[in-house]
Structures are given as C-alpha cells and as structure tokens.
Structure 1
Amino acid sequence: MFQEGIEDGVKKFLVIRRDNIGDLICTTPLIHALRKQFPQARIDALVNSYNRPVLAGNPDIDQVHHYTKFKHRQSGQSALGVALERARLYARLRRTGYDYAIIAGAQFLPRALKLARALKPRHIIGFTNPGDPRSRHIDMGIPYELPQPLHEVEDVFRLLAPLGITGDPGPMRLFPDRQLAEQLRETSGLPESAPVLGLHISARKPSNRWPEQRFAELILALHRKYPQLHYALFWSPGDETNPHHPGDDQKMERLVHRLEGLPVHPVATNRLEALIAGMSLCDRFVLSDGGALHIAAALDKPVVSLFGKSEASRWHPWGVPHVVLQPPSLEVSDVSVDEVMDALEGLPSVGH
C-alpha cells in the first residue's frame, strides 16, 4: 500500500537522528541507499550540534539542519536563547514542506515522533509500538520487533522498506576534511609512508576501559616485533578531575612519558571533525566500544574492538575486518595484551 504514494513523485525527505555519534554513523547506509533509490530527491537531515560533523561533506545529503541540546549549550549561551533558536529552526523546516520524515532510530520513539509531527510532513516513517496509541500518527510504520539479533545498521535500515528499499545495507560512510587531516599529520609528526596503528585510550563506560599500563605494554611489545610501526594516540580531551566532563589528558601524558623514544604520536582533537580527520591517517585501530569505534569502521579501517558491558552483536564494527574481544567478566580490564596482539595479527598487514 505504500508504493502507490511513492509513485506520485517523491520530492523531499527529512531524516531525523538526534542521538549519539555512533548512532548517526550507523544511519549513513540508510541515507546512502535513499539517495541511490531517489537520486533527484531533496534529502535533508535533522541532527544535534554534537553529532553534526558526522555528516560533513556527505554527498548524499542536501542540507544538514541541527539544533543544540540544552546540555550541550556553549558558555554564555542561555537556555532561552537555545529554545528560541530551536523554535526558529522548526518553523523553517515546516515551511520546507517535507514529503517524508523518517524517524531514524530503533524502537518506537515518542519524543522524535512528537517532533516529526510538529514539522507537518505529508508522511511519517518510523517504528511503531502496537500497544501505544501514539503509533497511529506514523502512517508508514513498521511494528518494532526483533525476531533475531541485528546490528544497529541493519535494524535502522529496515525503515526503508515502506519506500521499496530492501536488501543488505552497505558500509557506513564518513568524509574527513583532508586539509585538516594534513594539518594534524604535520602537528603530530605522523609519517606519510610508514604504517600507523591508531589507539583510542578513552572510553565513556567504566567497563569498556583498558588500563593505561596495558596500552604501554602493547606498544612496547609491538615495537619489538614491528620496529617500523608508528602509533597515533587519541583520547577524550580534558582534565581527569573535571566532575562534569572528565578527560584523559593526564593519561595521555603519562603514556607518552613512559614510551619516550618510541614512535608514539599524540593527536590532539578537541572537535569531532578533528577526531574524524586524525583517525583517517591511521591504517588500523585498537579501541573500545564507543563513537570512535564507529568512526574507524566508517573510515574503512580494520579494528580490534574491546567490549565490556555492551552488546557486541549490535555494536561491533560494521563492514570492515575486525576482531571483537569481550571477556566473560564483561570488563575490558580483563583483556590481556597477548589477546590484543593475537587479534592484531589476525587483521590485514599489521606491520606493513
């Protein structure tokens, strides 16, 4: 019953994805498939200021609209100012007159549905909950159920079925700023020709944190075996004693001091676009579950991924060679250096 409306002539899509970095990255295969199916359509996205750089330079998107969450407002930016700015954005989106708003998130999302309805598109596509009367407002809905475990990419991709798009989703897509990448290469001293292993030493969830001692031991062991290999260190910027946004500046400094004389290159990235650009300079990665893991996969990098109390079947690196290490304890601190070494050896060309 959906196809009849589509044949009338699709002109404007709005893809709504307002949550974390990895969630939006996992939505890029959906956006790319939408562009391939409707090459002449206008395809816009509504995201937040935090994850917006994920779509920078993406040729599948005509325009990225973003709003600021109250918890993400900058110093000097009032809550009232943020609310007014958001109201003006929603007014502009209503005037655009979208044919389809796609609530691009797994499960039934009432808050996103409320937003989609406020924008007054002709049709709303999203997952529904048959037991929730609000689902009736999604006129092109898919009852949300998981007969088998799915990756986030696969789960969200199912939302394209009402538009006649089925099959397997493609790879995730990111488009790093090449000029920024070369600036980071110069400031960090990363070589252009030698192989580079990227290591992201931070993790938001305590169960996903690998001790700095293990990172140091891994680099020392790899250096003995692959003396030509260089190491790019990435971390969450900030002071570790900050009660609101603790970072790993001190952890990085201790590692660099401990590994003095080795080809270790801290890559300072205070913005998401810089993290994406910096990670594009590496050949493969060791890192824990989180947004950086999905950045690495979307940049087509082989990954050794460390999982604690996270659902590896749903959040493992999508579409790239990878090894998942998840100990029975669900504590990444229990993963040994030898296990990571063995996993790296299973990835393409570790030292070449």
Structure 2
Amino acid sequence: MKILVVRRDNIGDLVLTTPVFRALREKFPEARIDAFVNSYNAAVLEGHPDVDTVHSYTKGKHRSGFFPGWLERLRQMLRLRAERYDHVVIATPGVHPRQIRFARFLAPDHITANVPAGWKMFGVDQPVEYLGKDRHHLLMTYRIVQPFGITAEPSAPRLAFPSPPKAKGEPPTIAVHVSARKPSSRWPEERYVALMRAIHERSPTRFRLFWAPGAEDDARHPGDDGKARRILDATRGLPVEAIETRELPALIAGLAACDAIVCSDGGAMHLAAALGKPVVCFFGDSESQVWRPWGVEHRLLQPESLDVADVTVEQALAAYEELRPAIEKR
C-alpha cells in the first residue's frame, strides 16, 4: 500500500499532523507513507520514522521566477502521479477544493478529505465530516484517519531531532523566542530582559535567545534582528547565547538543546512541545483552545484584553516557577 499525506500549511500545522503519520504507521506497518509539504516546513519531518519520503514544493511567492517555477511544479505533479498512490489523504482541517483537485490529478484509488456536513465532493470516496473549529487543531486534524478504521487516541506530536546529552548537575538552559507574527502576541522586549534577570537571580540558569531573522524594516520578510541586538545588549552579564536561525533545521536543533521555552504562540512553540520541552507561552488575539501546546507541561498566559502587553513580568515569572520542578528534572 502507498499513502500520500498532503499538508501544505505552516510549521505548527505540520507538527500537529505528526500523530496522523504515527497512527497510519501503526495501522499499516508495511505501507509506504509519504508526505507532500512545502519547502518552508519540510524540515519538520526530517528523519521522521513514520515517513518514508518527503515531497516538497516551493510556494509561488518564494519562487525565483514565474515560468521556471510553474514548469517545475508541473514536473513534480507528473512525478507524483507516476507513483500511483493507493491513497491520497488531505490532512488539512476544513474544506479545500483546490487540494482535492490536486489529489484527483494524482489518480489514486482513494481520496480522503474533509467535506461539509451532508455534502458529497467529486473524487472523495473516503469523506470525513468537517465539524468546524470545535476542538484543538491536533484533534481536528486527527479525525482524517477515521476512514482507515483507526480508533486509538492520538499520540503526542514528536520530531526526530534528538536532544543532546546533559551533564549531571548542569543548570537548565531556557529557550527565549522573542518574535511573533501578530502584534497582539508580541511581549515587550524589556520584559523579556527583566524575566531573564529574575529567573537567573532565583536559580543559576542559561538562556538561548531565538528570533525571526531579518531587518525590522524589510517589507517582504520583516524580522527581529534589531530587537535581538537590543535584548543582548540589555542582558550583558547574564549567560545568554544568541542563536541565529535562518533555516528551520537550525531552529529545531537549537530548541532541542534547551530544557524549556518561553515564547509567544507560533511555530517555535509547537516545535518545542513536539521536542518534549515544557512551555511558558503568551497568547494574544489567538484561539488558545485551538492552538495551545499539546502533550507537554505548559502554562498559557492570555489576558482578557487579548494583548500580551498586559502580561506582567511577575505573571510570567510565576508561570515559569510553576514549571521549574519539571524543568530541573530534565
């Protein structure tokens, strides 16, 4: 049996899809299970034991040229069609006619996808009724395995990146990721500085500083290089290591070497959770019931205003202290 799972979204979405691959592998241990993802998130599945081959494509906005990009996309689609998959699984929650058309082009024996209640969609012979955003995104995604007769509860998301060994008595290393796409999820940089100082004063702790790379005034790919420099200047005297991660594998490997993370809602939060790291996370105007960390101890800070600027350093420190026993056991 040959199965292709399609998940072309952001980093966190793909992380939360890893239980689907685990469930399919447990149900069909001899099957070939492939993934079709985008070039931006493909590293999430690097070396994953439940995935045989990762096929990735580059989104249009990231291609170097229109015609060369589309020509290569056509060639890739023809190569995938030639694989003659038995099943194509559209793992993205929601109803996605474009992805279903893509699946039909591949001419598999079966197509599994979400469909609206009471609808039939051409080509989808293994439909899953889409119920809307009524639960965590992982659970919404995991419903796609129902037509395969899988009834087991989902496993926790996991990545194949190992955590490096740690010497006995070595102080904890805390990842501090200071970037967020939504303005309402951006905790002020001076509070990150104050939090790191407060944590270190209470117990010897090392920190690794992560951020979205790029200039703050870059219209196409704005980043937080300036913010990171200011935080590093303000934390002189503390054991803070700057981790510049211009590629996703570097971010994952950097997080794997930490014992916990303080961050806003986003891809880094889901990566750290999938690596088994305790999480202190800030949620602004986001659906915390849908996107909270899954499968690890965590403390979620979301003020009534839905703006993380209203979260105090004292609140963040109290959340960290609640997790400290779990962090120091690692």
Q: Decide which of 314, 323, 326 is 2:299's aligned counterpart.
A: 323
Question: How far off its partner does 1:149 sit?
Answer: 3.0
Residues 235-269 of structure 1: per-residue CA shift (max 9 Å, x gap): 00011111111111111111111111111111111
Correspondence list, 1:71-220, <5 A: 71-73=61-63, 77-130=64-117, 135-146=121-132, 149-176=134-161, 193-220=170-197
Question: How far off its partner does 1:207 sit?
Answer: 0.8
Aligned-partner SS, 1:349: helix
4+ aligned runs moved over 3 Å, structure 1: 130-133
Does residue 285 of structure 2 align to residue 298 of structure 1? no
One-letter amino acid of the counterpart of residue 275, structure 2: L
CA contact (8 A) 1:177 1:273 kept: no
CA contact (8 A) 1:229 1:351 kept: no
- What is the aligned partner in structure 1 of residue 8 from structure 2? 18
- What is the aligned partner in structure 1 of residue 205 from structure 2? 229
- What is the aligned partner in structure 2 of residue 52 from structure 1? 42
CA contact (8 A) 1:172 1:319 kept: yes
- What is the aligned partner in structure 2 of residue 6 from structure 1? none
Q: Which runs of 5+ in 1 are unaligned?
A: 1-10, 186-190
CA contact (8 A) 1:154 1:168 kept: no
RMSD over aligned Cα atoms: 1.9
**Identity over aligned pairs, percent:** 47
Q: 1:165–1:350: structure 2 CA closer, same or farther, 3 Å change rule? A: closer
* CA distance in structure 2 between the partners assigned to 1:98 and 1:337 by the alignment: 52
CA contact (8 A) 2:117 2:131 kept: no
CA contact (8 A) 2:259 2:327 kept: no
CA contact (8 A) 1:50 1:72 kept: no
Question: How far off its partner does 1:137 sit?
Answer: 2.3
Q: Decide which of 35, 38, 58 is 2:25's aligned counterpart.
A: 35
* CA distance in structure 1 between the partners assigned to 2:186 and 2:117 by the alignment: 39
* CA distance in structure 2 between the partners assigned to 1:119 and 1:139 by the alignment: 14
Worse-matched range after superposition: 169-178 or 235-244: 169-178
Q: Which runs of 5+ in 2 are unaligned?
A: none
- What is the aligned partner in structure 2 of residue 247 from structure 1? 223
Aligned-partner SS, 1:120: coil
Aligned-partner SS, 1:207: helix
* CA distance in structure 2 between the partners assigned to 1:177 and 1:303 by the alignment: 18
CA contact (8 A) 1:302 1:348 kept: no
Worse-matched range after superposition: 48-57 or 166-175: 166-175
**TM-score, scaled to structure 1:** 0.89
Aligned-partner SS, 1:36: helix
- What is the aligned partner in structure 2 of residue 8 from structure 1? none
**TM-score, scaled to structure 2:** 0.95
Q: 1:166–1:27: structure 2 CA closer, same or farther, 3 Å change rule? A: same
CA contact (8 A) 2:282 2:308 kept: yes
CA contact (8 A) 2:162 2:256 kept: no
Residues 49-73 of structure 1: per-residue CA shift (max 9 Å, x gap): 1111111010111100011111122
